[in-house]
Amino acid sequence: MSDNMIRPIVLYKPYGNNDVLTHYIDEKDYSDSQKRHEVHEILESNRIHYNGLGLAANQIGLEERAFNIDGSTYFNPNVVEYNRDSVDAYSEGCLSFLSIKASIYRPHEITVNYTNLEGEVVNKTLEGLDAVAFQHELDHLNGITMADNIKSKIQRKKFMEKYKKSFNKLK
Ligand SMILES: [Zn+2]
């Protein structure tokens, strides 16, 4: 891994076009090992560089249906089952929103499938933060942003005001 793989984070634009972050990324063919490893190296090096728990491909402008969480890259990920009784709040942060936190409700127990770096299709149950992070990153690939997931209108407004302040300071 090297620094020349580092790409800018696509930030949510409060007043502009957010197409990169808000369109659905279609399933891709990841049968080629070299392709999987290339995508993994880029996602992993950028995730570490930006100090995120997770990073989805479109957050660095890549049209790939893949994300990396804590060193593992998940290709063509899906949630196949939600335990609706496990819904709970977690304080989430997102690199595309300058890591400003907000409380988001999600199932904390889900069953997922995906292709791993070795090219195997994996089926497993995730719990707690593992389940939260998987859903957060999968939302990115489906074009859903963190702001979309704040169900309380008041909380969403507060979050966006806080984010706009930080975003405006960047210029
Ligand atoms: Zn995010």
> Active site includes 127?
no
Does 20 fall in a domain?
Answer: yes
Domain count, the chain: 1
Does 40 fall in a domain?
Answer: yes
Does 125 fall in a domain?
Answer: yes
Distance 60 CA to ligand 1 centre (A): 11
Does 1 fall in a domain?
Answer: no
Distance 8 CA to ligand 1 centre (A): 14
pLDDT tops 80 at residue 171: no
pTM: 0.96
Does 44 fall in a domain?
Answer: yes
The CATH number that applies at residue 119 is 3.90.45.10
Q: Which of 44, 92, 109, 137 is catalytic?
A: 137
Count CA atoms closer than 13 A to 76's CA, side-chain side: 13
Structure tokens at 110: 């889900």
Q: What percent of the chain has pLDDT over 70?
A: 98
**At 146, phi and psi to the nearest 5?**
-60, -40
Average pLDDT over residues 147-170: 96
Domain around 106? 8-169
Average pLDDT over residues 126-150: 98
**Do residues 47 and 94 make contact, with C-beta atoms less than 8 angstroms apart?**
no
Average pLDDT over residues 6-28: 97
Does 154 fall in a domain?
Answer: yes
- For residues 127 and 65, give the distance between their C-alpha atoms in angstroms, rounded to a whole number: 22
**Do residues 73 and 40 make contact, with C-beta atoms less than 8 angstroms apart?**
yes
Does 69 fall in a domain?
Answer: yes
Distance 51 CA to ligand 1 centre (A): 12
